[in-house]
Amino acid sequence: MNTVSRLWRSGWTVRLALLILLAVATLAVAGPAIAPQDPLAQDAASALQEPSWAHLLGTDYLGRDVLSRLFAGAPASLLSALAAAAIGLVLGALPGALSAFVPRVGEWLALRVVDALLALPFILFAIVFAALLGNGLPQATLAIGILVAPGFFRIARAATLRVRDSPYIDAATYLGASAWWVLSRHVWRQVAPNLVVAAVSALGGALLAVASLTFLGIGVQPPAPTWGGMLSSDLGYLGQRPWGPLAPALAIVVTVGALNVVADAARDVLGADAPARQKEAVRV
C-alpha cells in the first residue's frame, strides 16, 4: 500500500494512468455484467451505424453494439494477459535467480536456452504453439508466458549477480548464514523491486501479444468478443466505417500506455531500494 501511495504522489500522469488501470481492472472483472446490451445480439437493419444514444460507440458489421462488445471482451483480453505475465514470472525469475548459484555448465545451458527463446519470432512461435496444442486461449496464454519468461530471467539474474558479488553477502556467509537465509533475506530484497517493475511492463507486452493473437483469430472462436478480434472484423469495413477500429485500438493502446507509465514510475519509486537498477523492458 505504501508503494501505491508513493506512486500516487509521483505526478498527475501516474495518477491518470492508475485511474485508467483501475477502470480497466473493473472492466476485467465486471465487463460482461455492465455491458449495456447483449454483445452477441445481431441486428442486420442497424449494421455499421454511427455513434448514437442507442449505441454509444455505434454498431459493427452485424449490427452488434460496439460498446457492449468492448466491455464483454475485456476479461478475455485482460485476464489472459495477467495469466501470461504470471507464467512468465514463475518460469523466468526463479531459474534466473538460481542461475547465479549453479555450476558453470548449468549456467551456460540456461543462457543458451534464454538466447534461443529470445531469438524466436514471437508471434510466429505463439501461432505454432496454438496450432500444435489446439486453438484456445489457455494455449495462447501459455505460449505468451513462455515468451516473456526470458525477460524475467535476465532481470532476476542481473539483480542476483549484483548482490552475489557484494561484500555484505560474503560477510553474511562468514557469519554462518545458510544459503536459504542469504537467498530469502538479501537476494530477494534486491530482486523483488526489479521483478515488480518487470511484471508491470511484461503485463503491457502480454496484453499486446494477446490482442495480436486474437486479432489473427488465434485463441478465440468468432462470436466471442475480444479487443483484438473486434479490430480484425472492423478491418474489412474501413471503407464504410473508417473510425471503426478506433474504439478497440484505443482500449488496447491506452491500457498498454498506462501500464508503461506505471512501470516507469514504479522503477523510480522502488529504485530507491535497488541501488543499481537495470532499465530493461520485456518487449514483444
Partner 1 sequence: MTIVTAEAPPAPAIGAEPRVRSAVPVLRTVLATLATAVAVFLLATFATFALGAASGSNPAAVALGEVATQADIDRLNHQFGLDRPFLVRYLDWIAGAVTGQLGTSWFTGIPVADSIAQAFPVSLSIAAGATIIALVGGFAGGVLAAVTRGGVVDRLITLLSTVAATVPAFVAAIGLILLFAYAIPLFPVAGYTPPDKSVGAWLLCLVLPSAALSLDAGADIARQLRTSLVGTLGENFIVGARVHGLGPARIVFRHALPIASGPALSTLGVHAPRLVGGAVITEVIFGMPGLGQLANRSALQGDVPVVQGVLLVTIAVIVAVGAVLNLVISRAGGTERSAA
Please identify which residue in the block is written with the cell numbers 523492458. Answer: 281
Residue 65 pairs with which residues in a beta bridge?
59
Binding track over 157-196 against partner 1, x by CB under 8 A: xx--xx--xxx-----------------------------
Q: Contacting partner 1 (CB under 8 A), which of 211, 220, 258, 269?
A: 211
Q: Is 130 in the site for partner 1 (CB under 8 A)?
A: yes
Where does this chain touch partner 1 (CB under 8 A) — which range of 6-14, 51-59, 175-183, 225-233? Answer: 225-233
Kindly determine how many residues on this chain lie close enough to bind partner 1 according to the rule CB under 8 A: 56
DSSP 243: T
Q: Contacting partner 1 (CB under 8 A), which of 7, 60, 122, 270?
A: 122
The secondary structure of 12-59 as a DSSP string is: HHHHHHHHHHHHHHHHHHHHHHH-SS-TT---GGGTTPPP-SSSTT-B
| Residue 177 Cβ vs partner 1, minimum distance, rounded to whole Å | 19
Where does this chain touch partner 1 (CB under 8 A) — which range of 28-36, 56-64, 129-137, 181-189? Answer: 129-137
Gap between the Cα atoms of 80 and 24, Å rounded: 14
| Residue 239 Cβ vs partner 1, minimum distance, rounded to whole Å | 7
| Residue 158 Cβ vs partner 1, minimum distance, rounded to whole Å | 4
Q: Is 212 in the site for partner 1 (CB under 8 A)?
A: yes
| Cβ neighbours around 197 below 10 Å, total | 27
Q: Is 242 in the site for partner 1 (CB under 8 A)?
A: yes
Please identify which residue in the block is written with the cell numbers 506512486. Answer: 7
3-class secondary structure, 65: strand
Gap between the Cα atoms of 11 and 9, Å rounded: 6
Task: Compute the radius of gyration of the chain from its Cα atoms.
Answer: 22
Query: Quick one: which of 211, 246, 231 has its CA closest to 51?
Result: 246
Q: Contacting partner 1 (CB under 8 A), which of 245, 254, 268, 271?
A: 245
Give contact residues for partner 1 (rule: CB under 8 A): 111-117, 119-125, 127-135, 154, 157-158, 161-162, 165-167, 208, 211-212, 215-218, 228, 231-232, 235, 238-239, 242, 245, 249, 252-253, 256-257, 260, 275-276, 278, 280
